[in-house]
Structure 1
C-alpha cells in the first residue's frame, strides 16, 4: 500500500508547500545548556573557565532555587564559593559571570559551594526557563551531580491550586511538598494534593529525579500570589521557603539565608524574570 497516495491533508496541514517554507527556514534549534566550571584562582594565573568533568560532582545536599524567589534566597548566603555556571540558551550575560562577585543583573544560573559545609551545593537560577527548555536544563544540572539529597525551591500559585474545598484559607506558612519514590517520608510539610500539577523547571527536575530513581528528592512549594495577572513574590513566600528548608533537615542553610536581603534583590530588579520586575514585595 502506498501511504503517500492514501494520505489526505487534514485541517492543520497547509495544502501549499510554499506556506510552510518560510517558517521552516526561520526556525532555529536552540543549543543545549552548557555547564562551565570555574578553575580555582591561583597566585600565578587568573581564574578561567573549564569544561565540565567527566564524572559527576559528589555532594551531600544539592539545593536548587528557581527564579520565583528560591534563587534570590540562595544568593543572600554570604559565605559561599562560586564553582561554575550553567550557560542557558538565549541569556544575556555579562563578561564577569565567573568572577567571585558576578553582576546581579546577570540572568545566570550560578553554582555555589557553601563555605560552612562544602558538601552542600546551591544553584541559583536567575532565569525563567521556558517549558520547551526545562527538560534540557534539568538534565544539564542533575547529570553533573551525585547528591544524597536534592531540594528544589519553587512556588505555587493559588490560582491554579485545586483544594477540593471552597473555604480554604492561605495562611503563612503555606507550603506543599512533592517527593520522589523511595524518599524518606516528610510529615512536617503537607503533600501536594492530587490532581494538582507543577510546571516549568521544578516539574522537569522532579521528573528527571523520578525517572532516574533518585530518592530523597524534594520539591518545596511556597505560596506565590498573583495580582492582576502578575506574580508577586512576597515576604511570606520567602519566609515559607526558609522555614521549609529547616523542616527538610537543612536548618544550618536556612539560618544563612536572608529574607529581607532577598526582598531587596527582587525590589531592585536585579534578578529574576520579566514577570517579577514590575512586582512589589509585601511584608
Structure 2
C-alpha cells in the first residue's frame, strides 16, 4: 500500500509555461508624452536640425552649451521624478528639449538622460521625431556597445562611426564628414536604432554617430570636434568652462570604480 504522506506527488498535467496562462498580464504602461513650456501645445516644431544626445560626451558638451532655451520635456511615466533637481542637471533622469536659437529655433537639442528599455524605444522615438517635432534633419549621438561590435575594442583606442538613412545618403552633403560607416556585421539596437528607423520611415535625413569609449578625454575631444566643425558651423554659441573639468572627474571616478571591480 502506498504511503500518501512520504511518496512523491504525481507530476502535474501542466507545464510551467502553461500555468502562467492563468496569471493576468500586467497592465500596459502609459504612453510617453511631451510637455512644452509654451501654452500653445498644438504647435508643431519644424527645426532645421534636431540633435538627440545619449552618449556621455555629447550630453556633457551640449548640456553646457549656451545660449539655449528649455522648451519642453519628454515624460516617460515609469521614470520617477524623485531625486531630480529643480534646475536641469546632468545627474537628473530626464529628457529635456532645448532650442539653441531662441528667435527662430533653427536647432533643437534633446538630452536623453535616462535608459529606455527596448520595448519602449519605438514609443519614445515616435514622440521625439515626426509628430510634435518634425525636423528637416536628425543627428543621433550614441556610444558603441561592445556586445554589438564585430571586432575588438580597446579602452585606449578612440573611434567613431556613422550610419545614415537613405534620404541622407541621397543628399548632396552629409552632416558629418570624415567618419567611416559602421562596420558590416556590427549592430545597433535600443533607442538609437528606433530613432534611425523612425527617420527612415518618415523620409527624414537622419545620421547616427556612435563613439567609443563612452568616457575619457580623447572621446570628448572627438565628439566636440565633430559637433563644432561639422554640425554647429555658423551658429553663435558658447560653452562654459565647467564641462571639461566635470567630464574629467566623471571619467576618473568611473575608471577607479572599474579598476576596483577587478582587484
| Common fold by TM > 0.5 | yes
> Mind listing any 5+ residue stretches in structure 2 that lack a counterpart?
1-12, 259-263
Alpha-carbon distance in structure 2 between the residues aligned to 1:266 and 1:11: 54
Asked if structure 1 preserves the Cα contact closer than 8 Å seen for 2:83 and 2:92, the reply is no
Secondary structure, counterpart of 1:82 in structure 2: strand
Alpha-carbon distance in structure 1 between the residues aligned to 2:233 and 2:242: 18
TM-score (norm 1): 0.70
Secondary structure, counterpart of 1:85 in structure 2: strand
Match of 1:32 in 2: 31
Q: Structure 1 residues 10 and 51 mapped into 2: Cα distance closer, same or farther (>3 Å)? A: farther
| 1:238 and 2:220 correspond | yes
Asked if structure 2 preserves the Cα contact closer than 8 Å seen for 1:267 and 1:280, the reply is no
Asked if structure 2 preserves the Cα contact closer than 8 Å seen for 1:139 and 1:208, the reply is yes
Report matched runs for 1:156-235 at 5 Å. 156-163=144-151, 173-183=158-168, 184=171, 186=174, 187-215=177-205, 217-224=206-213, 232-235=214-217
Deviation, 1:236, is 2.3
Asked if structure 1 preserves the Cα contact closer than 8 Å seen for 2:150 and 2:185, the reply is yes
> Mind listing any 5+ residue stretches in structure 1 that lack a counterpart?
1-8, 40-49, 225-231, 269-275
Deviation, 1:220, is 0.9
Secondary structure, counterpart of 1:52 in structure 2: coil
Larger radius of gyration: 2
Aligned CA RMSD, in angstroms, stands at 3.6
Deviation, 1:94, is 5.4
TM-score (norm 2): 0.75
Count of paired positions:
238
Secondary structure, counterpart of 1:193 in structure 2: coil
Secondary structure, counterpart of 1:93 in structure 2: coil
Deviation, 1:66, is 1.1
Q: Structure 1 residues 249 and 70 mapped into 2: Cα distance closer, same or farther (>3 Å)? A: closer
